[in-house]
Amino acid sequence: MKVIKFGGSSLASSTQLQKVLSIVQADDQRKYVIVSAPGKRFAGDTKVTDLLIQYARQTIHHQDTAAVVETIIDRYAEIGRGFDVPEDQLTPIFDIIRHLPNQAYADNTYLMAAFKAHGERLNAKLVAAVFAQAGLNARYLDPKDAGMVVTDVPDDAQIIESSYDQIAKWANSDQILVIPGFFAYNRNGQICTFSRGGSDITGAIIARGVNADRYENFTDVDAIYAVNPALVAQPAAIGEMTFREMRELSYAGFSVFHDEALIPAIQGNITVNVKNTNHPEAPGTLIKSTREASTKYPVTGIASSSSFCSLYLRKYLLNKEVGFGRKILTILEDHHVSYEHMPSGIDDLTIIFDEHQLTPELEKELTAEISEAVHPDEIYFTHDYSILMVVGESMRNRVGIMSRAATALADSNIKLIMVNQGASEISIMFGVHDRDADQAVVALYNEFFN
């Protein structure tokens, strides 16, 4: 029994959906189909989700929405009519789009969440109709009917644990169930969306809930690669990797999965197979709990992300001052700011943040309050900051990985700002200037894979 998920590029048009239909027909174990909203059909095209965001904003500001509504309808119409779906099945979808502004929403954040979620909701209804038109025993299953209940956060919801008992009731279905990704309902029946990568999260939740043998995640690449293909031509494909490796690499910018998307699959110990909708016969990449150590490559993958900033503090005899760290962390907690890492020396420390949670005003407040609390000799924020991750389960059993990595960066004249090895010994983190990040990734790839 398999749960399969298709991303927006796989569902962008009737041509792409024909490939999806063939994939489902090719394996009768593929019983749970998670769908995203239609994505881009070509360069310069607009995703349906982005059109819905525009629709929501125009609705909030009481602007004319006629043009964007017809554009959204046209996207679904092209797909449905490409499979000769009867008009009496398409019309309700079009009506829902037109009447979205007429529904009751708690506030504009819930309105935005509901508008965005309808990209997936309506596409799942349409895909179920296409499957049925093709002769498959398929039906649409709404997240509410599936038993998915989430926390009351309109744009960053979390699944409530009791949901899994309800989802389990749908195990061993004799039908193909088409389920929209990205959203579910809170206890009040309001739509709340998951964070970015939300359809991946839905797929992992359903896979755990029905105790699937495998969760196949179809995208537009043949496999997960050891490095960003935009930086290295024809990089090595990763045949197998562990959940831990995937988490470490996703955290540092691997774009195949949002780093939280696989948590339900990890909890359920469900093997994940990343495959290509356009090349489904390719084996793809398996992600699972354990794997054999590689004798060829000690490193599995290398990634970088520039979405970080740092706060540097220096104070003489910092290491002798009891409560220094607690005072700083209390201030961060009071402002609901989490930190990523905190490398330190005897007289200084650096706190690394995801910079998306900070604003210039908040940085000024934090600087003032921390200065008042601990009286540092020096304190400042730095935004020219990228993190590189070198990840591999096989690194634990090899000597000299740190030396090789540092030497490769030095030979490329790249200055290291920070170095940190994870406690699990499967990752090494380097901090570098943003301007050096791409060159650093290439240098590390050449060292460990060429």
Mean pLDDT of the region 29-35? 97
User: Which pLDDT score is estimated for 198?
Assistant: 83
Beta carbons of 237 and 222 less than 8 angstroms apart: yes
Highest mean pLDDT among 57-61, 298-302, 387-391: 57-61
User: pLDDT digits over 375-421, tens only?
Assistant: 999 999 988 888 899 999 988 878 889 999 999 999 999 999 888 88
Residue 313's pLDDT band (boundaries 50, 70, 90)?
very high
User: Which pLDDT score is estimated for 292?
Assistant: 80
> In the block, which residue shows the tokens 């201030």?
331
User: CATH number, domain at 363?
Assistant: 3.30.2130.10
Per DSSP, the three-state class of 236 is coil
Mean pLDDT of the region 76-82? 96
Count the domains in the chain: 2
**332 and 211: one domain?**
no
User: pLDDT digits over 88-119, tens only?
Assistant: 999 999 999 999 999 999 999 999 999 999 99
User: Which pLDDT score is estimated for 137?
Assistant: 97
Answer with the one of 220, 247, 267 that is the final residue of a domain: 220
- 438: pLDDT strictly greater than 80: yes
Mean pLDDT of the region 132-153? 97
Answer with the one of 159, 193, 220 that is the final residue of a domain: 220
User: pLDDT digits over 214-244, tens only?
Assistant: 999 998 889 999 999 999 999 999 999 998 8
Which domain, by its residues, includes 362?
301-449
> Which is higher by pLDDT, 247 or 269?
269
| Backbone region of residue 383 per phi and psi (left: phi > 0; alpha: psi in -120 to 50; beta: other values) | alpha
- 4: pLDDT strictly greater than 80: yes
Q: Which residues contact 60 (CB under 8 A, 6 or more apart)?
A: 108, 111, 112
User: Which pLDDT score is estimated for 262?
Assistant: 84
User: Which pLDDT score is estimated for 124?
Assistant: 98
Residue 414 lies in a domain: yes
User: Which pLDDT score is estimated for 140?
Assistant: 98
- 259: pLDDT strictly greater than 70: no
User: CATH number, domain at 52?
Assistant: 3.40.1160.10
d(CA 203, CA 264) in angstroms, rounded, equals 9
Beta carbons of 78 and 126 less than 8 angstroms apart: no
Q: Mean pLDDT of all residues in the chain?
A: 93
> Which is higher by pLDDT, 200 or 250?
200
User: What's the whole-model pTM score?
Assistant: 0.85
Residue 16 lies in a domain: yes
User: Which pLDDT score is estimated for 395?
Assistant: 87
**29 and 125: one domain?**
yes
Lowest mean per-residue pLDDT among 256-265, 295-304, 323-332:
256-265
**215 and 329: one domain?**
no
Instruction: Tell me which residue of 101, 33, 42, 40 sits closest to 69, measured CA to CA.
Output: 101
Lowest mean per-residue pLDDT among 144-153, 286-295, 331-340:
286-295
Residue 258 lies in a domain: no
Residue 305's pLDDT band (boundaries 50, 70, 90)?
confident
d(CA 124, CA 137) in angstroms, rounded, equals 15
Answer with the one of 159, 190, 220 that is the final residue of a domain: 220
**18 and 164: one domain?**
yes
**308 and 183: one domain?**
no
- 252: pLDDT strictly greater than 90: no
